[in-house]
Structure 1
Amino acid sequence: MMVDFTQRCSEIEIMDTFSGTTDELDIILQDINRVNRLLGGYNITLSAVFDLISDKNLESYTILDMGCSEGTMLRKLAKEARKRNITLTLIGVDLNTQSLKLAREYSTDFPEISFVECNILTADFSNLNIDVVMTTLTLHHFSDQGVVKFVNQFNKLASLGVVINDLERSSIAFYLFKAFSFFFIKTEIAKKDGLLSIRRAFRKKDLVAYANQVKNASHYIQWKWAFRYVWVLKKK
């Protein structure tokens, strides 16, 4: 069967309605983390976040991670900030109780990280002084309308800007991931959802169209290896 990449797929990923045990979830997330580590996904967000905060010389920065899952990205940020002697307050937000249980267990050595369980589209964070909002592989879970709402909401919230890291929708990415997953991914859910994530993901023209609906920010959208886009919004 031919796969259509001209439009974003609207099929729901298995992980969006996951009903297994926390241990099963942990194994799947380890698979996903292995992909991010091997293909450089984490470094894209790290580089963009530190570039963004380097524009302002503040005593400390508060960063909100929307859709943080079990918190791997936050822990990597914390480790890098410690190396650079930068003080961060890191807040992870997710709707999945099991993911946050794992996040708290894995983050006991990181007092600068806290977690909040809530819906990232409806929660009110206006009482917090947020400098940067970031999201990694979360945007593609939303419809086009949801993406615009999401980005506008958090552009208003962040004093410095927003960092988005997500997938490119393309046949090359799809079939290379299929081959990659044969060797490096153990769980069927991670394999299936990985392929579906690519079909739900974006082409640059999609991101540009969303950016045109987000005001009060300058937009930087760039393709990154392996088949990612980084979209940085700097507040005006």
Structure 2
Amino acid sequence: MTVPDLTHRETRALELMDDPDCDLVALERTYRHFALVNGVVAGWRRVYRRRIRPLLEASPDGRLTVLDIGSGAGDVPRALADRARRDGYHLDILAVDPDPRAHAFATAERRSPVPGAAPGRDATLAFDRTTSRALVDEGRRFDLVLSNHVLHHLDPVDLGDLLDDSARLATTLVLHNDIERSRLAYLLYAAATLLPFRGSFIRHDGLLSIRRSYRVDELRREVPAGWKVEGQFPFRLLLTRTGTPETDLEAAAEAAAAQGAGGAAAHPGGTDA
């Protein structure tokens, strides 16, 4: 097969599922395949083990509030909630997506708050057709804000808006998980999806997603101060932020106060000299 030039991000071509007039049967097939595809490629088991479970362990009641932005078919928040439940912890998750088709699919798939959970007692999962900006305007806050495969869909302005919203909504941690563009990732995904996902957008949109995704150095140039970009094996990017704008300001104020106190100690009398 011919591999396209991956030197630079593809920013003009749009994924088929982003077309509001796309084939709805193929779109539903795509949504149904997401649990398998994300389970294999997205790396949320590792992210949960290294980033989310430690927060649950540190929580006095073993609970966290979570916001999933651009939740699509809802498979990622379901999997995270179920994993936490099996570990004896509790995630209260709000999964939001403004796309009416994704919201309809996610809510239609819902059978109980979380597979295997006791309604009203264990992990809670709610879906809402809304945006991160609307939640900011409502004054909502969450312990953890996350997304899966959202970054590569966004232009620079929308990316900046997402990061601003995420920082305002999260009290503890933000985790944006996405693909890292590479030739090998493209070849492996093309081979793995050649036959199994016919009649869906999995192959076409997945390959385009790789072309649209960032490399580590590219994403670092795009994000403002306070954000950290990490490469994850294999072919993954994790964009993280701890704290909030308010805590950043508090830390800066404390650092300035400490520096001032240190200067006064070193130079007694200060401005009176």
Classify the TM-score, shorter chain. 0.7 to 0.9
Do the aligned partners of 1:224 and 1:230 also contact (CA within 8 Å) in 2? no
Aligned amino acid, residue 237 of structure 2: Y
Equivalent pair of 1:65/1:91 in contact (CA under 8 Å): yes
CA distance in 2, matches of 1:56, 1:210: 32
AA partner of residue 206 (structure 1): E
Tell whether 2:232 aligns with 1:223: yes
Q: Partners of 1:209 and 1:73 in 2: how far apart?
A: 28
Instruction: Give the whole-Å Cα distance in 1 for the aligned partners of 2:206 and 2:148.
Output: 14
CA distance in 2, matches of 1:44, 1:144: 28
Alpha-carbon separation, structure 2, partners of 1:147 and 1:62: 23
Q: Distance in 2 between matches of 1:107 and 1:42?
A: 21
The CA deviation at 1:128 is 2.1
Q: Is the Cα contact below 8 Å between 1:44 and 1:224 reproduced in 2?
A: no
Spell out, residue by residue over 1:19-49, the C-alpha distance to the aligned partner (whole angstroms, 9 max, x if none): 3565542211223332222335332443354
TM-superposition CA deviations, 1:181-201 (whole Å, max 9, x none):
114322352211111100100
Post-superposition offset of 1:134? 0.3
2:139 to 107, 127, 139: 127
Larger Rg: 2
* Secondary structure at 1:127 match in 2: coil
Tell me which residue corresponds to 1:73: 76
Deviation at 1:207, TM superposition (A): 2.3
Written as runs of structure 1 = structure 2, the 5 A alignment for 1:171-186 is 171-186=183-198
Rate the CA distance shift 1:101–1:22 in 2: closer, same or farther, 3 A.
farther
Match of 1:69, SS? coil
Aligned twin of 1:6:
7
Aligned residues: 231
One-letter identity of the residue aligned with 2:189: F
Paired amino acid for 2:241: L
Q: State whether residues 92 and 116 of structure 1, in contact with CA within 8 Å, keep that contact through their aligned partners in structure 2.
A: yes
Query: CA 1:209/1:70 → structure 2, altered by over 3 Å: closer, same or farther?
Result: same
* Secondary structure in 2 matching 1:156: helix
Q: What does residue 234 of structure 1 align with? A: 242
RMSD between superposed Cα atoms in Å = 2.3
Further displaced range: 42-51 or 92-101: 42-51
CA distance in 1, matches of 2:103, 2:77: 12
8 Å contact kept, 2:42–2:236:
no
Listed as ranges, the gaps of 5+ residues in structure 2 are 114-118, 249-273
Q: Secondary structure at the match of 2:175?
A: strand
Scaled by the length of structure 1, what TM-score is found?
A: 0.86
Once the two structures are superposed, the pairs formed by residues 163-202 of structure 1 within 5 Å of their partners are 163-202=175-214
> Which aligned segments of 4 or more residues in structure 1 are displaced greater than 4 angstroms?
20-23
Could you tell me which runs of 5 or more consecutive residues in structure 1 were left unpaired when the two chains were aligned. none
**Structure-1 separation of matches of 2:33 and 2:199:** 7
Deviation at 1:124, TM superposition (A): 2.9
1:138-153 matched pairs, under 5 angstroms? 138-153=150-165
Aligned sequence identity (%): 24
Rounded to whole Å, the distance in 1 between the matches of 2:94 and 2:24 is 21
Query: In structure 1, what is the Cα distance between the partners aligned to 2:101 and 2:179?
Result: 24
- Superimposed CA distance per residue, residues 42-97 of structure 1 (whole angstroms, 9 cap, x where no aligned partner): 32443354146247424331100001012111111111121222222100110121
Letter in 1 for 2:135: D
Query: Per-residue CA shift, 1:179-231, capped at 9, x if unaligned?
Result: 111143223522111111001001010222234x143x5x2513222x11222
User: How many Å apart are 1:108 and its aligned residue?
Assistant: 2.8
| Counterpart residue identity of residue 224, structure 1 | F
Q: TM-score, normalised by structure 2?
A: 0.76
